[in-house]
Chains A and B, each alone.
Chain A
Amino acid sequence: DAGVTQSPTHLIKTRGQQVTLRCSPKSGHDTVSWYQQALGQGPQFIFQYYEEEERQRGNFPDRFSGHQYPNYSSELNVNALLLGDSALYLCASRGKGYGYTFGSGTRLTVV
Chain B
Amino acid sequence: KQEVTQIPAALSVPEGENLVLNCSFTDSAIYNLQWFRQDPGKGLTSLLLIQSSQREQTSGRLNASLDKSSGRSTLYIAASQPGDSATYLCAVSNYGGATNKLIFGTGTLLAVQP
When A55-B98, A58-B101 are in contact, do A99 and B46 touch as well, CB less than 8 Å? yes
Q: List 6 A-B contacts (CB under 8 A).
A: A43-B102, A45-B103, A88-B41, A102-B43, A102-B44, A104-B43
Q: Does any Cβ of B come within 8 Å of A77's Cβ?
A: no
Q: Does any Cβ of A come within 8 Å of B104's Cβ?
A: yes
Query: Residues of A within 8 Å of B, CB-based: how many?
Result: 29
Q: Does any Cβ of A come within 8 Å of B61's Cβ?
A: no
Partner of B96, one of A43, A98, A105: A98
* Bound complex: CA A40 to CA B106 (Å): 7
Q: Which positions in A face B, CB cutoff 8 Å?
A: 4, 6, 31, 33, 35, 40-45, 48, 50-51, 55-56, 58, 88, 90, 92, 98-105, 107
Is the beta-carbon distance between B99 and A43 smaller than 8 angstroms?
no
Chain B residues touching A, majority SS: strand
Partner of A104, one of B34, B42, B91, B99: B42
Complex interface: chain A residues within 8 A of B98 (CB): 31, 48, 50-51, 55
Q: Of all chain A residues, which has the CB nearest B39?
A: A104
Chain A residues touching B, majority SS: strand
Among A6, A35, A98, the most chain B Cβ lie within 10 Å of the Cβ of A98
Is the beta-carbon distance between A102 and B51 smaller than 8 angstroms?
no
Q: How far is the CB of A56 from chain B (nearest CB, A)?
A: 5
* Bound complex: CA A39 to CA B45 (Å): 18
Q: How far is the CB of A92 from chain B (nearest CB, A)?
A: 7
When A42-B4, A43-B104 are in contact, do A90 and B44 touch as well, CB less than 8 Å? yes
Is the beta-carbon distance between A99 and B42 smaller than 8 angstroms?
no
Partner of A56, one of B43, B91, B101: B101
Residues 80 to 103 of chain B near chain A (Cβ within 8 Å): 89, 91, 96, 98-99, 101-103
Partner of B99, one of A40, A48, A107: A48
Q: How far is the CB of B26 from chain A (nearest CB, A)?
A: 15
Partner of A42, one of B46, B99, B104: B104
